[in-house]
Amino acid sequence: MVNSQSVQWDQRCKWNCFTYIIIYGLLGAVTGITNNAMLSYYDIVAPNLVTGLNIYSAVSSILLAAVILSIHRWGYKKILLIAPPVTIISLVATIITHNQAIIIIAYIISSVSIGIYDMVYPLMFTVYVPRKIRTKLFTTVMSTNLITQSILTFLGGKMVVWFFAKLQHLTYLTASHLSGNQNSMHGTILANYTQAYRLVILVAVLFNVIAFFITFFLKEKPGDYRDTDVDTPESKLDSFRNIKQILSNKTIIMWIVYLSLIQFGASLITPYFPIYLNNYLHIDRGVTATINTLQTASMFIGYMVAPFLEKKLGAIVSIASTTLACIPLMILMANGRSFGTGAVLAVVIGTILFLRSGIANASMPIQQELQMIFVDKDLRPAFSSLLTLISAGVGIINGLFTQFYLLKTMAGYAHGYYIAAVLYVIGAILLLTFFKKKYNHSMENSSEEN
């Protein structure tokens, strides 16, 4: 996909990029399980975690922000070597205990150790990859992650049903039908269904083990992640000054407002896809896994379109256009029950989700690259940390809203789509108003090569 022959590219940087693509692909497999099958598992063993999901995710984001700040001192490799063992311990903890408090703590910790991979590649690739092929590399790394995520999203749901069928001594078809009515399960049936999820979580543990060993192949230098000596008194003061300097930039303030609007809206719907499909629309667990796989695969298609969009429309128009295009689809999703039941419902909802997911993510590689050019190399970890902290604040507000109001009834899973649609409209208008003139073609005009 990436033709680097005509681009002068340091071999060590190239090696690190493609090594990280492999690592990030493995983490895609992990998130294929943790973002889908594992969410349904939490709904059984720790329901308070699910209703307050965004609050706990916000706590994870605050911790993640601290980890990101440490990149300037410790670099990428050391942090990436710590992350897999932490994830493994956390995932194992969720399957060996029935204590909800421990499960919630384990969720928070694993969210940090898994989430760090999403934060590292924008920092790493902005430094390692020449500008001419940077958008393509962003697309490649994100697409690789999505391919493996799609595969494990699909297989994860199927494995849950298969393990459940074996444990309960049922046919696959019967087990699949029962999985569509989780709320009616009791006793041994529910216990075996829960155990099936635990077995699938162990697969995620295996992928983390592999990622850990591959991380040793990264060839890192201090200049990859900092330009200054972190041990000087002045540099220690800089870590506190950086945030203030970043916040003095009006462009960054407006970018934060945009991201906050979109995050709040998206967080009302995207974490709850499996529950919305399985428990609200009563689509079988195996079919739900297929739908989630297709919408994840659609994200991959969207990522592949990103370089074309940037070239034809520019960065800002691409992001705003895809944001607006999602709105009609979200309104249709809010009325999911009006599309009937059974196979017809599954096909219609699957198609809508497929389109929404592809469109929503078509500009994501552009967005990830664009925000990194707002600041220089030394400020990028602090900037990423700031964005993560803002995300945490939005997540806390979102979590309180969902836990104590929106998701008090099952209808809230549908109403979230209406709210998200309104926020998307506001976000798109803000982008076009404040960013189009200066930043629509800023990336292609940039002379930065490293």
Report the pLDDT value the prediction gives residue 222, as an integer from 0 to 100: 80
Query: Which residue would you say has higher pLDDT here, 265 or 146?
Result: 265
CATH of the domain at 96: 1.20.1250.20
Residue 450 located in a structural domain: no
DSSP 36: I
List alpha helices for 33-99, DSSP H: 38-45, 47-51, 53-96
Q: Percent of the chain scored above 90 by pLDDT?
A: 44
Q: Which residues contact 289 (CB under 8 A, 6 or more apart)?
A: 36, 37, 153, 154, 155, 156, 157, 158, 160
DSSP 270: G
Q: What does the block give as tokens for 162?
A: 């298969």
What residue type is 147 in one-letter code?
Answer: I
Residue 48 located in a structural domain: yes
Report the pLDDT value the prediction gives residue 278, as an integer from 0 to 100: 81
pLDDT in tens, 202-224: 999 999 999 999 999 999 888 77
Mean pLDDT over the full length of the chain: 86
- At residue 445 the predicted structure's pLDDT band, cuts being 50, 70 and 90, is low
Residue 223 located in a structural domain: no
Query: Which residue would you say has higher pLDDT here, 235 or 134?
Result: 134
Report the pLDDT value the prediction gives residue 235, as an integer from 0 to 100: 52
- At residue 365 the predicted structure's pLDDT band, cuts being 50, 70 and 90, is confident
Residue 227 located in a structural domain: no
Report the pLDDT value the prediction gives residue 448, as an integer from 0 to 100: 46
Report the number of distinct structural domains present in the chain: 1
CA distance 17 to 127: 10
CA distance 191 to 42: 14
Q: Which residues contact 229 (CB under 8 A, 6 or more apart)?
A: 235
Query: Which residue would you say has higher pLDDT here, 175 or 88?
Result: 88
Residue 332: count of CB within 10 angstroms of its CB? 19
Q: Between the CA atoms of 304, 80, 33 and 103, what dihedral angle is there, to the nearest 10 degrees?
A: -140
Closest CA to 215 of 326, 126, 86: 86
CA distance 57 to 66: 15
Report the pLDDT value the prediction gives residue 61, as an integer from 0 to 100: 85
pLDDT in tens, 240-291: 677 777 888 888 999 999 999 999 999 999 888 878 888 888 888 778 878 8
Write the DSSP assignment of 345-410 as a string of letters. HHHHHHHHHHHHHHHHHTTHHHHHHHHHTTS-GGGHHHHHHHHHHHHHHHHHHHHHHHHHTGGGST
Cα 350 vs. chain centroid, distance in angstroms? 20
Mean pLDDT confidence for 281-307: 83
Report the pLDDT value the prediction gives residue 208, as an integer from 0 to 100: 97
pLDDT in tens, 103-117: 999 999 999 999 999
Report the pLDDT value the prediction gives residue 248, as an integer from 0 to 100: 83
Report the pLDDT value the prediction gives residue 220, as an integer from 0 to 100: 86
Q: Which residues contact 106 (CB under 8 A, 6 or more apart)?
A: 90, 91, 93, 94
CA distance 378 to 208: 30
Mean pLDDT confidence for 378-395: 83
Looking at the predicted structure, is the pLDDT value of residue 302 above 80? yes
Q: Percent of the chain scored above 70 by pLDDT?
A: 93
CA distance 39 to 151: 17
DSSP 7: S
Query: Which residue would you say has higher pLDDT here, 420 or 73?
Result: 420
- Class of residue 101 by CB neighbours under 10 A (exposed 0-12, middle 13-18, buried 19+): exposed
pLDDT in tens, 321-342: 999 999 999 999 999 999 988 8
Mean pLDDT confidence for 348-360: 93
Report the pLDDT value the prediction gives residue 181, as an integer from 0 to 100: 75
Residue 4 located in a structural domain: no
Mean pLDDT confidence for 229-247: 62
Residue 6 located in a structural domain: no
Query: Which residue would you say has higher pLDDT here, 387 or 2?
Result: 387
Report the pLDDT value the prediction gives residue 266, as an integer from 0 to 100: 93
Q: Between the CA atoms of 107, 40, 157 and 111, what dihedral angle is there, to the nearest 10 degrees?
A: -20
Q: Between the CA atoms of 33, 35, 40 and 45, what dihedral angle is there, to the nearest 10 degrees?
A: 90
pLDDT in tens, 387-404: 888 988 898 898 889 888
At 186 the three-state DSSP class reads coil
- Provide the domain limits for residue 420: 11-217+233-445
Residue 289: count of CB within 10 angstroms of its CB? 30
Report the pLDDT value the prediction gives residue 229, as an integer from 0 to 100: 55
Q: How many residues in the chain?
A: 450
- At residue 136 the predicted structure's pLDDT band, cuts being 50, 70 and 90, is confident
Cα 325 vs. chain centroid, distance in angstroms? 20
Looking at the predicted structure, is the pLDDT value of residue 450 above 50? no
Query: Which residue would you say has higher pLDDT here, 450 or 239?
Result: 239
Report the pLDDT value the prediction gives residue 198, as an integer from 0 to 100: 95
Residue 140 located in a structural domain: yes
Residue 80 located in a structural domain: yes
CA distance 281 to 299: 23
Task: Give, in degrees to the nearest 5, the angle at Cα 432 between 431 and 436.
Answer: 100
CA distance 82 to 347: 42
Looking at the predicted structure, is the pLDDT value of residue 151 above 50? yes
Is residue 40 a contact partner of residue 153, using CB atoms and an 8 Å limit?
A: no
Is residue 21 a contact partner of residue 144, using CB atoms and an 8 Å limit?
A: yes
CA distance 369 to 262: 17
